[in-house]
C-alpha cells in the first residue's frame, strides 16, 4: 500500500518540518488468513512447543486475581525482514547488545488494577535462528472479559513512510504560524512501528528514567474523518458506508478507547505501555 506524500506546498511553507521527519513503518493490517511464518496481527505465533505459554497473574480491577493463571492472547507478530523500522538490538549492559529479528506481542484481555487503561501487554523478542522446528499449534485459551480486545486476524502490507510530531509536540513558534487544523495531520495514524507517538508528552523509562522511543502503535482505526489524507491510494475510492466497508478503516476490530503506545528504552531495553 502507498500513502500519499505530504503536500509539497506545506513543506515549502514550513521548511522546519523537514528536519523533524523520521521514518516509521505503517503496517497496514487488512483482514486475512496469516500463517505462523508471517508478520501479522491476530494470527498464530511462531512459539516453541517446549516453551511455556505466557500467562497473567496480575491483580484485577475489582481487587481479585484470576481464578487460575490466565493464558495471554496473541496480538501481533513482526519479522524484521518485513518491517524496516523494527529495532534489531536489545541493550545488554556489560554483556553488550543482543540481536533479534522477531517481535511478538501478547496481552491479557481482562481489566487490571494497575493498568491505566487497556489490556496488560507482554512483548517477546526472539532470533529466528533460535526457533526450533517443533512449534506450538494449539495455544491454551483463557478468560476474555473484553471481546474488543481480541484482534481479527490480519495480514500486513508494510510501508516505510516519513512521520512527524503531533500538533502539541511541534515547536511552539512553528505551530503558532499554522492555521488551525493544519498541524493535526502530520503524525501517522494506525498501526505502525517507530516514528512519533500520537500524543505529546515525555515517556521516561520506568526502570532507568531515560527517554524512550516508540516501538509499536496499536490502533483502533487506520484512518478516520480527521486523518483522511493518510488513506492509502488503493483505498481512496472505497465507500465506508457499504457492507463491510469499515473493515478497511477498522480492520482489526479492536476497541481500546484510543491508541495504545508500546515504548522501548534504547538504553536498557525496558518495554512499557502507555
Q: Which domains does the chain have, with CATH numbers?
A: 8-273 (2.30.320)
**What is the DSSP code (8-state) at residue 10?**
H
> Which portions of the chain are predicted below pLDDT 70?
59-67, 92-97, 113-118, 240-245
30-50: b (≥16 Cβ within 10 Å) or e = bbbebeeebbbbbbbbbbeee
State residue 93's pLDDT score: 47
Nearest partner of 85 among 248, 185, 213, judged by Cα: 213
Which run of H or E residues covers position 155?
strand 154-155
C-alpha cell at 200: 505529546
How far apart (Å, rounded) are the C-alpha atoms in residues 252 and 69?
26
State residue 94's pLDDT score: 46
**What is the DSSP code (8-state) at residue 160?**
E
How far apart (Å, rounded) are the C-alpha atoms in residues 242 and 238?
8
Provide the edge-to-edge strand list for the sheet that holds 22-26. 159-163, 22-26, 192-194, 213-218, 260-264, 271-273
Q: How far lies 61's CA from each of 65, 95, 143, 199, in Å?
A: 9, 38, 15, 25
Q: Would you report the helix, strand and coil content of the chain in percent, each value rounded to 5?
A: 15, 25, 60
C-alpha cell at 192: 505502525
Contact 44/53 with Cβ under 8 angstroms?
Answer: no
Nearest partner of 197 among 165, 172, 161, judged by Cα: 165
How far apart (Å, rounded) are the C-alpha atoms in residues 137 and 42?
15
Amino acid at each position: 500500500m502507498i500513502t500519499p506524500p505530504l503536500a509539497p506546498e506545506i513543506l515549502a511553507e514550513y521548511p522546519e518540518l523537514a528536519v523533524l521527519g523520521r521514518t516509521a513503518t505503517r503496517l497496514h493490517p487488512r483482514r486475512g488468513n496469516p500463517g505462523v511464518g508471517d508478520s501479522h496481527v491476530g494470527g498464530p505465533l511462531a512459539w516453541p512447543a517446549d516453551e511455556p505459554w505466557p500467562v497473567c497473574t496480575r491483580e484485577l480491577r475489582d481487587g481479585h486475581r484470576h481464578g487460575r493463571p490466565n493464558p495471554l492472547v496473541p496480538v501481533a507478530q513482526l519479522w524484521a525482514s518485513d518491517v524496516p523500522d523494527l529495532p534489531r538490538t536489545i541493550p545488554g549492559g556489560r554483556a553488550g547488545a543482543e540481536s533479534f529479528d522477531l517481535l511478538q506481542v501478547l496481552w491479557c484481555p481482562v481489566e487490571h488494577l494497575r493498568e491505566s487503561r487497556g489490556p496488560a501487554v507482554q512483548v517477546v523478542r526472539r532470533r529466528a535462528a533460535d526457533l526450533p522446528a517443533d512449534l506450538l499449534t494449539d495455544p491454551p485459551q483463557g478468560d476474555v472479559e473484553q471481546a474488543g480486545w481480541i484482534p481479527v486476524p490480519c495480514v500486513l502490507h508494510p510501508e516505510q513512510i516519513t512521520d512527524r510530531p503531533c500538533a502539541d509536540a511541534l515547536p511552539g513558534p512553528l505551530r503558532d504560524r499554522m492555521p488551525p487544523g493544519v498541524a493535526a495531520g502530520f503524525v501517522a495514524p494506525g498501526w505502525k512501528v517507530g516514528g512519533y507517538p500520537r500524543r505529546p508528552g515525555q515517556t521516561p523509562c520506568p526502570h532507568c528514567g531515560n527517554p524512550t522511543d516508540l516501538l509499536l502503535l496499536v490502533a483502533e482505526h487506520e484512518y478516520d474523518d480527521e486523518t483522511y489524507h493518510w488513506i492509502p491510494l488503493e483505498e481512496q475510492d472505497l465507500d465506508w458506508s457499504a457492507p463491510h466497508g469499515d473493515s478497511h478503516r477498522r480492520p482489526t476490530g479492536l476497541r481500546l478507547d484510543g491508541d495504545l503506545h508500546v515504548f522501548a528504552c534504547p538504553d536498557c531495553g525496558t518495554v512499557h505501555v502507555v
